[in-house]
Amino acid sequence: MQFERNQNKIFVVGFILILFVVVWSLARPGILKLFQKDQDSEKKINEEILKAPLITPKDLYERMKNKEKALLFDIRSADDFMKGHLAMSENVPDGSLNLQKLNSSQAEKTSVVVLINQGDDVYEAARKTNELVAKGYVNAKYLQGGISTWKNRGYPLVSSDVSGGQEGKIKKINISDLAGDLSAGAELVQFVDVRSQESFGKGHIPGALNILLSDLEKNQDKISPVKKVVVYGNGEDEASRVAITLFDLNFFNVYVLEGGIEAWSGAGGQIVAGSE
């Protein structure tokens, strides 16, 4: 009986070994192929990263400080861009950086073009940079380490996010205090209307500049660095976003008009129509 049980064990073990050999023989080509595919993918990723030109945060900061021209394209999501981005950069998420966008941004084949991502996906930034170089934009680069490294090095970012510790960048002024400033010298106050061009045309505070949040950075030279700048809209939310952005652009004498243009009108303030 014991001999018979031993024979059965030997048979089962032998059957399992034979089955393993058969399965391995059938699966081996596929497993080796997958392994080779993984090796090829890793090799391709490394080649893309090594081939792609980059610019360090320090070099880009010096370039910006010296006002050397560069086209900055931030390829992160709109929400991440709003929370903090490089001054004068343009948000082009979801693969929208194409030839049409480059042409509309007046990019020439010799222009310095810098791609900016969060920093955690080096391959994607490198791949897109290599695509631009292949299309003839010979000075395309990606920012080494992305926004994360830029921020960690202490270089400035521009935000328009009203949440999360930005309250200290927002100063407000009510109609009564504004009236006092205007009576002391109207020429020392500059109004910035952040509403749409259509709303602005229907009625605005006399002398106000009409600048949308999306156009603010490229039009910052129109804003006085010495006057009291009063920002308003239909309400306070978008005006607060503009105030935060201007603070990050080193405009520190900026105030949000409490109640917006409705408070101005309700207090008997003059409203004029037209595009000027």
Alpha-carbon distance of 222 to 254, in angstroms, equals: 14
Per-residue confidence (pLDDT) for residue 33, from 0 to 100: 57
Per-residue confidence (pLDDT) for residue 7, from 0 to 100: 55
* pLDDT single digits (tens) 36-85: 545 556 666 778 888 899 999 999 999 999 999 999 999 999 999 999 99
With beta carbons less than 8 A apart as the criterion, state whether 91 and 116 touch: no
With beta carbons less than 8 A apart as the criterion, state whether 193 and 269 touch: no
Alpha-carbon distance of 147 to 157, in angstroms, equals: 9
Per-residue confidence (pLDDT) for residue 23, from 0 to 100: 64
Q: What is the mean pLDDT of each run of 10 residues along the chain (276 residues)?
A: 55 64 62 53 74 95 94 95 95 85 89 95 92 94 96 95 85 96 93 96 95 94 96 90 96 96 94 84
* Domains recognised in the chain with CATH numbers: 54-152 (3.40.250.10), 167-266 (3.40.250.10)
Per-residue confidence (pLDDT) for residue 109, from 0 to 100: 93
